[in-house]
Amino acid sequence: MRKGIIQTLKFVAFLAVGILLLWFAFRNVDFQRLKADLKEADYSWLMLSVLFGFFAYVSRARRWVLLINPLGFHPSTRNSFYALMTGYLANLALPRIGEITRCVALGKKEKIPVDQLIGTVVIERTIDFLSLLTIMIALIITSSDQIGLFLKESILVPIQQQVLSIFGNTWILWVILFFMGVTMLFLIIRYKKDLRKIRFFSKMFDIARGIINGLKTITNLKRKWEFIFHTIFIWVNYTLMTWVVVFSLESTSHLTLGDSIFLLVIGGLAMSAPVQSGLGAFHYIIRQGLLIVKGIPVEDGLAYALLTHESQLIFVAIVGTISFFLIFKRHPKDEIT
């Protein structure tokens, strides 16, 4: 009873944050123009975007199998795909609950201990984080003007204005942050064992250890080149999935493949926000990115964000629901055993 109440409160809280972010994204917007953009959009490009998304999900399922095999289990790629999509469906209710859900789904179907599957998901997420970080660094090096302008206008300038209003000079803040950083690093090293007793720090240490162990696991994979191939293939499809949608709107049809990588990076950061499927956060950050870097009006930017986000959301809702019934469907042989 208590657990159900807590889950309900979490759902309402995350949804409230998402609605607030949506309000930020859509405030002061000309809805007539936005409506006209969506009405005139070429929706055939969305089908291609969804197809690239499907390729990425299948590849992700196969990559998950490669991580599970060293544990001594050999689940089918089909069941792994069903479990993966069931997890994405669960994320529509609560952020990150899908990671546990897909492990439970596949564990029950393939008779694999859930705790071992969770370990593979930690490794997978570590690789995703490092992949996005690598793409971000490459983007900063090759297109520093784009990402630099976005960071400056969206983050640095607003922070600088707040700092000046409080301290009068930015150098004072840097001195304070420097000493705080040194002090915090010293305390973490000195009292590491004691800090482990605190849940937050224990989780941070576990994440750091998970990243290190994840990298070690990949180097020991028997089919490491297939794993690397699928990792690259997944992000290539994510990029294409993001890019083809620009051709749906006349106002964004001039954007290049390089521009889509920029959108992929900032969109990926937004999807990590603690709200259901990046609700609101994705729309706001994409709108701001297109406005600041490309000078595209907010209505056109929001139209692009809606087409990209909602097409994938609908796909996940449909395929995730089908996958849920398929993976939890009981077969006669399961009942016998």
123-132 pLDDT, tens digit each: 888 888 889 8
User: Residue 335: is its pLDDT beyond 50?
Assistant: no
8 A C-beta contact, residue 293 and residue 255: no
End-to-end CA distance of the chain: 32
8 A C-beta contact, residue 303 and residue 42: no
Q: Distance between CA atoms of 66 and 60, rounded to whole angstroms?
A: 10
Q: Count of residues for the chain?
A: 337
Q: Distance between CA atoms of 242 and 132, rounded to whole angstroms?
A: 15
pLDDT band at 70 (very low <50, low <70, confident <90, very high): confident
User: Residue 27: is its pLDDT beyond 70?
Assistant: yes
8 A C-beta contact, residue 237 and residue 56: yes
Model pLDDT, residue 337 = 42
**Which carries the bigger pLDDT value, residue 179 or residue 119?**
119
pLDDT band at 301 (very low <50, low <70, confident <90, very high): very high
**Which carries the bigger pLDDT value, residue 299 or residue 188?**
299
User: Residue 5: is its pLDDT beyond 50?
Assistant: yes
Mean pLDDT of the residues in the chain? 81
Choose among 305, 298, 309, 293: nearest CA to 143: 293
User: Residue 304: is its pLDDT beyond 60?
Assistant: yes
Model pLDDT, residue 323 = 96
Tokens matching residue 173: 């803040």
Model pLDDT, residue 281 = 84
